[in-house]
Chain A
Amino acid sequence: TQLLEQSPQFLSIQEGENLTVYCNSSSVFSSLQWYRQEPGEGPVLLVTVVTGGEVKKLKRLTFQFGDARKDSSLHITAAQPGDTGLYLCAVSPNTGNQFYFGTGTSLTVIP
Chain B
Amino acid sequence: DADVTQTPRNRITKTGKRIMLECSQTKGHDRMYWYRQDPGLGLRLIYYSFDVKDINKGEISDGYSVSRQAQAKFSLSLESAIPNQTALYFCATSDLRFGLGELFFGEGSRLTVL
A binding-site residues for B, Cβ under 8 Å: 2, 4, 6, 9, 31, 33, 35, 40-45, 48, 50, 88, 90, 92, 95-104
Q: Chain A interface secondary structure, helix, strand, loop or mixed?
A: loop
Residues of A within 8 A of B96 (CB): 96
Residues of A within 8 A of B43 (CB): 43, 88, 90, 101
By the criterion CB–CB under 8 Å, are A98 and B58 in contact?
yes
Residues of A within 8 A of B101 (CB): 92, 95-96, 99
B74 located at the interface, meaning its Cβ lies under 8 Å from any Cβ of chain A in the complex: no
Tell me how many residue pairs across A and B have CB atoms closer than 8 Å: 68
From residue 17 to 39 of chain B, which have CB atoms closer than 8 A to chain A?
Answer: 33, 35
Closest to A44 in B: B105
Residues of B within 8 A of A99 (CB): 33, 45, 92, 94, 101, 103
- Residue picked from A42, A43, A45, A103, most chain B C-beta under 10 Å: A42
| Bound CA span A40–B56, Å | 28
Q: Mark B79-114, 1 if CB is under 8 A from A, else 0.
A: 000000000001010101001111101111000000
By the criterion CB–CB under 8 Å, are B100 and A50 in contact?
yes
By the criterion CB–CB under 8 Å, are A42 and B106 in contact?
yes
**What's the minimum C-beta distance from A25 to chain B, rounded to whole angstroms?**
13
- Residue picked from B50, B90, B100, B105, most chain A C-beta under 10 Å: B100
A-B contact pairs, 20 of them (CB 8 A): A31-B100, A35-B103, A41-B107, A42-B108, A43-B105, A45-B102, A88-B42, A88-B43, A90-B43, A95-B100, A95-B101, A96-B96, A96-B101, A97-B50, A98-B58, A99-B103, A100-B45, A101-B44, A103-B40, A103-B41
Closest to A88 in B: B42
Residues of B within 8 A of A95 (CB): 100-101
| Bound CA span A65–B102, Å | 17
Residues of A within 8 A of B56 (CB): 98
By the criterion CB–CB under 8 Å, are A101 and B42 in contact?
yes
| Bound CA span A40–B106, Å | 10
Residues of A within 8 A of B94 (CB): 96, 99
